[in-house]
Amino acid sequence: QKAMLGDTINRRIVDYVAYLTSPVRVSGYLKNLQKSLWPNGDRISSRLSRDSEMKMRTRFAAKLSLLASLSDELKHLIGSETTRRGLLCVFDLCQDPVLNRRFILVLFEGILKTLFPDKPFTTVIQRLHYRSNRVSKYRPFLVPSATSAPSSTSTMTRSASVVGSTGTSGLGGVCNISPRSSRKKK
């Protein structure tokens, strides 16, 4: 009976996710995003500046809602003080705009890869990252892993294994170390 109930719940979840990611729904999401960012076809004007009191109220409300989001059973299981300290740590991490931007981009990349598994987003993102002005000072030392054949996944796999074998697996196959990196800087 549990297996049958699990299958029913699983089927409902799959159906609901399929409904949420249907072409009609995705186009609706994109239209809403377009209306939000470009109302009446014009770009949104700059934001209204908020005074420090409004910022503090918003910060307090966000912290309160984060602390209230966890169930009492989970708080009891982990411990109230540990849960509170952990959630406040997460809240403090969310105050860094650079980390927030990075988190949103990684989340968006994951959504794109999930929605369109047949598209080569990894290669495109690597190319865009390599062309970024922020990494220009590291360009002599970083070489994109898919330089010889961008559309070939075997090249990416081979270069990722080379990176892993040199002890730089923290790069995750995003780049290879060029021969120049072994030279000392003047």
What are the residue ranges spanned by the domains of the chain?
Answer: 1-40, 121-182
As a whole number of angstroms, the distance between CA 175 and CA 168 comes to 10
At residue 12, the pLDDT reads 86
Q: Does residue 58 carry a pLDDT above 90? A: yes
At residue 38, the pLDDT reads 82
H-state helical runs in 69-132:
72-78, 80-93, 97-115, 121-131
Q: Does residue 133 carry a pLDDT above 80? A: no
As a whole number of angstroms, the distance between CA 174 and CA 135 comes to 13
Average confidence (pLDDT) over 110-121: 83
At residue 4, the pLDDT reads 64
The helix/strand/coil state of 51 is coil
Tokens (6 digits) for 102: 């990075």
Average confidence (pLDDT) over 76-95: 90
Tokens (6 digits) for 26: 């995705």
At residue 72, the pLDDT reads 86
Q: How confident is the model at residue 109 (pLDDT cuts 50, 70, 90)?
A: confident
At residue 117, the pLDDT reads 83
